[in-house]
A and B are shown apart, each in its own frame.
Chain A
């Protein structure tokens, strides 16, 4: 299994531009999570999906952020317009409920976003 695949790995853009981050979860995983990691705030949950349906988006910082999951193998996180304070590493993670009853969360390598 290739694991959780995120693209791009690095993105540098200018303030006001639209940014789209992409994620391919592990096949068979029914939960997908988007996290943001910064030095100041640590790891923050932005939104998560179950069976492609958004369940909790209370962590999305503001209306400039949106996330979609059109099918079980693809999700996007969009920022429009981007601002310098959005600079962070964005992680996608997926999970399934194993036989032990515990979900096991698998992270992608992250997308490092820099907004100038």
Chain B
């Protein structure tokens, strides 16, 4: 079946620290992979995506590389800011494109 596993939170970092949030997936076929971010009181927003192996998605200083060999899509940012405090969800969609599978979310708090 299809599923996404991401690291448990919460994660607390100091401003300018390096961030990694691990995400691994199980999927049949060739899924597309996504990171969504949810700020307090808001809906989920697409942060970045990758549609095939070795693709790197990037946005707002965040990056993730689609690794087929390790079935991973880890989220990284070199220097986090207080404004990055949010919940981050890893997700995949099947190659038919009409089913989405979300991880449980990882809460990130960045302290000044």
Contact = CB atoms under 8 A, between A and B. Distances in A.
A55 to B, nearest CB: 7
B43 A91 contact: yes
Contacts of A109: 42-43
Nearest to B32: A102
Interface in B34-82: 34, 36, 42-46, 49, 51
Interface residues of A, number: 25
Interface stretch (A13-21, A43-51, A76-84): A43-51
Interface residues of B, number: 21
B43 A102 contact: no
A107 B89 contact: no
Given A43-B105, A103-B93, A55 B51 contact: no
Q: Could you tell me the dominant secondary structure of chain B's interface residues? A: strand
Q: Could you tell me the dominant secondary structure of chain A's interface residues? A: strand
A28 interface: no
Contacts of B43: 4, 91, 93, 107-110
Interface of A: 4, 31, 33, 42-43, 45, 48, 50, 55-56, 91, 93, 95, 97, 100-110
Contacts of A103: 32, 93, 97-98, 100
B98 A102 contact: no
A47 B49 CA distance: 24
Contact of B51 (A43, A100, A106): A100
B105 A42 contact: yes
15 contacts: A4-B43, A42-B105, A43-B102, A50-B98, A56-B99, A95-B100, A101-B51, A101-B95, A102-B32, A102-B97, A103-B97, A105-B36, A105-B91, A106-B46, A110-B42
Given A43-B89, A48-B98, A97-B97, A105 B46 contact: yes
